[in-house]
Amino acid sequence: MKREASGRKQRTTKLGYNERHARSGITAPLPDIETFPNQFKGYEITIEIPEYTAICPKTNLPDFGTVTVHYMPDQECLELKSLKMYIHAYRNLGIFYENAVNRILQDVVKACRPVWARVTGTFAARGGLRSVIEAKYP
């Protein structure tokens, strides 16, 4: 175990991943997702974003995938241009798949307070493995 600057012990795995890698990108500043007033009730919205890209915080290699946001709006709907700018902000951000999907869900819920929401990340194969991550609200 190594010690962080704070003196706290930092757990490191055999592959060299540590807490700094695990937390990378979770609290990074990102553009706000804007909304507009919803006019109807009881319907669902699915938004596919096939050009998601970010950076692996350990290797600094690019990650690619499709992020799908599926939700039932309540009072507000997500404004698509601001959502696009929000997602594009991940391009140079070091963040793991799991953290990105959960962060996107958190930010979507914060922006529009949906009845329910689901964010799915389907990430491109790398090294013979493909990951699909899903986070749900509530």
Structural domain includes residue 2: no
Q: What is the CATH number of the domain that holds 48?
A: 3.30.1130.10
Domain with 85, as residue range(s), is 30-137
pLDDT confidence of residue 75: 98
**Mean pLDDT over the full length of the chain:** 91
Structural domain includes residue 128: yes
Q: Which of 32, 63, 77, 112 is catalytic?
A: 63
Instruction: Please tell me which residue, 104 or 25, carries the higher pLDDT value.
Output: 104
User: Is 79 assigned a ligand-binding role in the annotation?
Assistant: yes
pLDDT confidence of residue 78: 98
Q: How far apart are the first and last CA of the chain?
A: 37
Closest CA to 56 of 25, 86, 87: 25
Does residue 6 carry a pLDDT above 60?
A: no
Structural domain includes residue 1: no
pLDDT confidence of residue 11: 57
Say whether 56 is catalytic: yes
**CA of residue 54 relative to chain centroid, distance:** 10
User: Is 129 assigned a ligand-binding role in the annotation?
Assistant: no
Q: How many structural domains comprise the chain? A: 1
Render pLDDT for 80-101 as a digit per residue (tens, 0 to 9): 999 999 999 999 999 999 999 9
Q: Specify the pairing of strand 116-123 against strand 132-137.
A: antiparallel
Structural domain includes residue 16: no
Say whether 32 is catalytic: no
User: Is 78 assigned a ligand-binding role in the annotation?
Assistant: yes
Residue matched to tokens 């389907």: 122
Grade residue 72 by pLDDT with cuts at 50, 70 and 90.
Answer: very high
Q: Which of 32, 56, 77, 112 is catalytic?
A: 56
